[in-house]
Structures are given as structure tokens and as C-alpha cells.
């Protein structure tokens, strides 16, 4: 495992993008950043630059107005990258599923590594999802070394 991959596992930088949700999940993501839950104790930092992000947290359903922006953010992130769909709307489209402008879950636009269903998800679930995604990344890196 290379130095960059080790640093990603110890200190992932997270980019949050809202595809048009009700803001319930967004509030919970912000709550996870407060001292009560303290994401930074795990080395997780919220940043605004996709070129420096390791993990993309997406809330809300993908729709015809934002799918290009989501795809551009995903394409700007360096490899290896992880995508976490936060909330039922990001996973399946949620209550917006049958709306004419909604494409469904974000997995219709970008590949998703971890799904976090719920309306609205709790900060503990978000932290668990990031840790699960990092474990998945560590497993991929280890399997590449064995080959």
C-alpha cells in the first residue's frame, strides 16, 4: 500500500454535494461536523475542492438540472475515490422518485460505494458510512498488493 493510500485511510477529505434534497440530510452532515460528534477525531475533514477530495457525500436525488454538475465533480476527484449516497433520496430518489425531472438515485449518474438509507439519516450513520467506505478502500488496496 502506497503512502498516498495510507494517508487517505487515516485522513479522508470529504466533499459534500446537495443534489436538491429537503436539507434534512444536509443538516445531519453539518451536525456530524460539530464537537458533539467530532468527525475530525477520525481525521475526516470537510473541504470544498473536488480536486483534493477523497470521498464524495451526495444528498438528494439526481435530476436533469444537476446531473452534469455531479458528474463533473466526480470526474475532477483523483483516484481512488469513494462515493457515499446519504439519505433515501440519494439512494433511490425517495419521495421525489416519480417526479418528471428526477433521474432517481445518484447511482444513475456516478458509481456509489456506500448507501446510507434513511430520512433523515443520523450523524452516527454518516460516520459509520465513511468508515465503511474507507474499509472498502483498504480492502481494495490490499487485494491489489496480493496480485
Residue in 115, 124, 116, 118 with CA at minimum distance from that of residue 32: 124
For the chain, the domain total comes to: 1
On the question of pLDDT at 1 being above 60, the answer is: no
86, 31 in Cβ contact below 8 A?
no
Within-domain flag for 4? no
Residue 11 has pLDDT above 90, yes or no: no
Q: What's the average model confidence in pLDDT over 68-92?
A: 91
Is residue 6 in some structural domain?
no
What are 94-106's pLDDT values in tens digits?
888 888 888 888 9
* C-alpha cell of residue 69: 454538475
In a domain, 1, yes or no: no
Q: How confident is the model at residue 8 (pLDDT cuts 50, 70, 90)?
A: low
Domain containing residue 82: 11-140
Residue 83, domain member (yes or no): yes
Assess if residue 136 is contained within a domain: yes
CA 44 to chain centre: 12
DSSP H helices, the chain, are: 3-10, 24-32, 67-76, 88-92, 123-146
Q: What is the CATH classification number for the domain harbouring 128?
A: 3.40.50.12280
pLDDT at position 116 is 92
Average pLDDT along the chain: 84
Q: pLDDT tens-digit profile of 126-147?
A: 888 888 888 887 776 555 555 5
Give mean pLDDT, residues 23-42: 82
Instruction: Indicate whether 33 belongs to any domain.
Output: yes
Most trustworthy range by pLDDT among 51-55, 110-114, 120-124:
110-114
Using the predicted structure, report yes or no on whether residue 47 has a pLDDT greater than 90. Answer: no
**pLDDT at residue 119 tops 90:** no
Where does the pLDDT of residue 68 fall: very low under 50, low under 70, confident under 90, or very high at 90 and above? very high
Amino acid at each position: 500500500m502506497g503512502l498516498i493510500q495510507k494517508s487517505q485511510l487515516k485522513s479522508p477529505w470529504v466533499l459534500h454535494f446537495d443534489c436538491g434534497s429537503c436539507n434534512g440530510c444536509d443538516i445531519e452532515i453539518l451536525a456530524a461536523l460539530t464537537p458533539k460528534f467530532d468527525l475530525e477525531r477520525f481525521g475526516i475533514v470537510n473541504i470544498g475542492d473536488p480536486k483534493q477530495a477523497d470521498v464524495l457525500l451526495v444528498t438528494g436525488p439526481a435530476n436533469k438540472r444537476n446531473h452534469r454538475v455531479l458528474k463533473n465533480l466526480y470526474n475532477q476527484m483523483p483516484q481512488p475515490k469513494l462515493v457515499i449516497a446519504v439519505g433515501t433520496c440519494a439512494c433511490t430518489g425517495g419521495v421525489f422518485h416519480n417526479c418528471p425531472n428526477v433521474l432517481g438515485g445518484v447511482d444513475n449518474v456516478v458509481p456509489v460505494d456506500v448507501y446510507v438509507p434513511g430520512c433523515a439519516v443520523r450523524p452516527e450513520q454518516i460516520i459509520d458510512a465513511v468508515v465503511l467506505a474507507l474499509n472498502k478502500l483498504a480492502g481494495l488496496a490490499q487485494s491489489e498488493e496480493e496480485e
